Structure 1
Amino acid sequence: MNRYVVLLRGVNVGRAKRIAMADLRALLSDLGYEDVRTHLNSGNAVVSATRTSPERVATRVQRALADRHGLEVGCVARSGDQLRATIAGLPWPDRATAGAKLLAHFLSADPDPALLEAHDPRSLDSGRIALGERVMYQWCPDGVLAAPPASAWLEKHTGVVATGRNWNTVTKLTAMLDA
């Protein structure tokens, strides 16, 4: 049995695209996932499944949200190994202690290299944005609200779904995978 993190993009941040975490847990259970747990009220879940991939998990969840709840939201999933690799790949490990100011933007796919070259998100905030394996890291020393909207910018220019989580959430989800 493998464990996966499911990350929904843009749910429960305003009046649109709302889903109760109890409803999300029920949906995930109905899809056949086991050991379903959610974290916070922002579309974070951990599930167990056999014979699947993170991409398949994301596709199934995204379709079910649209079909059952009328929610058109992006979904990204990561295996436990992929999430641990995101943590290991952090380019600024000394900043992890300020977890609310450090973001990991999880990408649904690798951006097209030509588009990425033409629209490099690192140009938004030199030295504070770095790219990793299907993740974009962002350091926000003045707070997330004062930082450039890197996820939206990357999505607009590359067409890849990006959903950001602060480092505190990333480490909590990793702990949930291992619990």
Structure 2
Amino acid sequence: MTRYAALLRGVNVGGRRRVPMADLRQVLAGLGHTGAATLLQSGNAAFTARPGSGGDPGALKAELEEALRERFGFAVEAVLRDEVQLAAAVEANPLEVGDPARFLVLFLDGPLDAADLAALAELAGTGTAARASEAMAPGEREVYLSLPDGLRDARLPGLVERALRGRTATGRNWRTVLRLLEAVRAGEAE
């Protein structure tokens, strides 16, 4: 059976689009998934896909998004990674991680294609409005962002999301990514 990480986009930010983590665990259990556990309050969950689900991440994503919409009354976009994909994303990071709280991974809804890579290359080559200290590197299905001056005032995440128009992207800091990988591997979270 496959363990997954579910990363919900834009929930529990500034008191809007509230998705209590206990309710998220209930939604996952209601879909027949086991070992559902959450990490922090920002829409991170680890779970084991129910037997017979076929391990189709696209189908699991659509099913989860529909169940969340029904439960909470608003659309919630999710990005899923299985244990192997999440570990590969950690291993593939080409940038140095200084402060893990100031290093962001943008998880995308699918692989970067030629148009995405061209948009990111143009962004990198145009002397964007990003701070000089900020750095970016594309991965296979992620974009890695070093933001040594902090996330709050960082410009690069918004610029990257605009460059990748039409793509679902959700960011997690490096510390959260590592904790989520541990949760997926261990079958538990806090």
Cα deviation, residue 71, structure 1:
2.2
Structure 1 residues 168-177 or 146-155, which shifts more?
146-155
Moved more, 53-62 or 159-168: 53-62
Aligned match for 2:66, one of 63, 67, 73: 63
- Which structure has greater helix proportion? 1
Measure the CA separation in 1 of the matches of 2:176 and 2:138. Answer: 19
| Residue 11 of structure 1, CA deviation | 0.3
Amino acid at match of 1:52: G
Preserved contact between residue 120 and residue 163 of structure 2 (Cα < 8 Å)? no
Question: Quick check: which has more Rg, 1 or 2?
Answer: 2
Alignment partners' CA distance in 2, 1:137 and 1:63: 29
- Deviation of 1:122 after TM superposition, in Å, equals 3.5
Answer yes or no: is the 8 Å Cα contact 2:117–2:138 preserved in 1.
Answer: no
> Per-residue deviation at 1:149?
4.8
Query: Residues of 1 paired with 2:64 and 2:159: CA distance?
Result: 21
Given that residues 129 and 137 in structure 1 are in contact (C-alpha distance below 8 angstroms), is that contact kept between their aligned partners in structure 2?
A: yes
Calculate the TM-score normalised by the size of structure 2.
0.84
Partner of 1:22: 22
Superposed displacement of residue 55, structure 1 = 2.4
SS state of the match for residue 152, structure 2?
Answer: helix
Q: Which runs of 5+ in 2 are unaligned?
A: none
Q: SS state of the match for residue 26, structure 2?
A: helix
Q: What amino acid maps onto 1:80 in structure 2?
A: E
Corresponding position of 1:122: 124
User: Helix, strand or coil: the match of 1:90?
Assistant: coil
Q: Which amino acid aligns with 1:103?
A: L
Output one character per residue of 1:131-177: Cα deviation in whole Å (capped at 9) or x when no partner.
Answer: 00110000000011121152574256431000000000000011111
1:53 Cα deviation after fit: 2.5
Distance 1:2 1:157, change over 3 A: closer
Matched residue pairs, number? 177
Gapped regions of structure 1 (runs ≥ 5): none
CA drift of 1:76 comes to 0.2
Contact 1:37/1:47 (CA < 8 Å) preserved in 2? yes
Matched, 1:102 2:109: no
Q: Deviations over 1:64-90 (max 9, x none)?
A: 111221121211000100000000001
CA separation of 1:65 and 1:155: change in aligned 2, threshold 3 A: farther
Q: Which amino acid aligns with 1:87?
A: V
Give RMSD over aligned pairs: 2.0
Structure-to-structure mapping, 1:10-89, within 5 angstroms: 10-49=10-49, 50=51, 51-89=54-92
> TM-score, normalised on structure 1?
0.89
Paired residue for 2:179? 172
